[in-house]
Amino acid sequence: MVHFIHLGTQLWSNDWHTYRQPRTRLEVWGQLQMQVFTSARVGEYIQSTCRPGSGRGLYYRDITFAVFRNEDGRAEFAMQVVRDAKNMTFKPDKRPEHSLHEGLQPRPLFCNPILTYLAKFIAKRVFRDYKTMDALLSLEPTGDEMFQLHWDPEVLDLPFFQKDGEIDTANTLSKRVRELGFRSGYELPPTIHDFRAEGLFLINKLYSTAQRMKHGGHTDENTYRDHYAPNNAGTDGQGSYFGDKLRSIVNDRFRSMTLCRNPELWQSLPAEKQHELESSLEFTAIEQELEALSLDTRDHSAVTDRRKDLRAAKRKLIAEELRKSRKLQPSRIPSTKGENHLIGYH
């Protein structure tokens, strides 16, 4: 959970990155929330790289949105999504179904997926019978039943995650999550697969094998053990040996350390490192050739292509040097003084 919180805090509180379209921030987070909370593969809600041009993914028709009276007696929104799981193309009746809800515990607002999606629903006016937030918030369900809020028929066949009518792709999401990970201080950012593996590990601890298999979209009981279970099994051998109260925190913390984070991770080369790179023979050779090509007035595709190749080589040199520098960058335990507090608690 700690990595999800770090990414959310960066995106919604500390981020300096400006997306070309403001809605992208909401879309990225909405996609990541759904991936994390349902332990899905990256290409099961958006178009997989293995299924290019297929349009496969999550559509409004695959989602049921409802309101109910929760354990505290309050009205709460929830939604159920049907996942287009791997190896279930010809078994649509076996596809996993997952519920998402507002939650009962006080957490940062970015942990609430319903809040993320409601903003999108109202902006796009996707409900058949309710068009404003005031109308939705005034709903008071009765009894122990759930009441469905129906979609406008016009949106049923639209992708849930899309841009200009085209379903989003796994490549785009993976790239955006990776970039967010770098900005959050990860030298090797968490991937969608990392979140899936962690989710299945937690589900395995809390639910039966049958429930875990349904949740993960598995048909073979050994898939989890062979491909997702961490090598650190979470067992307290020392506590077991002495008959002490078993501890889980130590193993949990060590597992989270497999993705190391430095809150002060360099986002660009320090001035000294930048100067050293720019003074290197390889870098200066590229600069000199670019300068020579800038004087070439011929309108020739070969000249243009060469410029592109040189600029790409230059970017690669900078990226490689940044990676090397990050590995040697000092990493100190953060001070509790002046630390950034999580935003949006409710």
Instruction: Please tell me whether residues 33 and 157 are part of one structural domain.
Output: yes
> Which residue among 173, 199, 227 closes a domain?
173
- Has residue 249 been placed in a domain? no
Contact 182, 189 (CB under 8 A): yes
- Has residue 25 been placed in a domain? yes
* Number of domains making up the chain: 2
- Has residue 187 been placed in a domain? no
- Has residue 89 been placed in a domain? yes
Instruction: Please tell me whether residues 282 and 161 are part of one structural domain.
Output: no
Is the confidence at residue 180, as pLDDT, over 70?
yes
Q: Which secondary-structure segment (H or E) carries 305?
A: helix 301-328
> What pLDDT sits at residue 32?
96
Contact 101, 76 (CB under 8 A): yes
Instruction: Please tell me whether residues 42 and 158 are part of one structural domain.
Output: yes
- Has residue 135 been placed in a domain? yes
Instruction: Please tell me whether residues 281 and 166 are part of one structural domain.
Output: no
Quick: pLDDT tens for 209-262.
999 999 998 888 888 888 888 888 887 878 876 788 888 888 888 888 777 787
- Has residue 115 been placed in a domain? yes
Domain holding 19, by residue range, is 2-173
- Has residue 264 been placed in a domain? no
Instruction: Please tell me whether residues 32 and 145 are part of one structural domain.
Output: yes
Quick: pLDDT tens for 148-170.
999 999 999 999 999 888 899 99
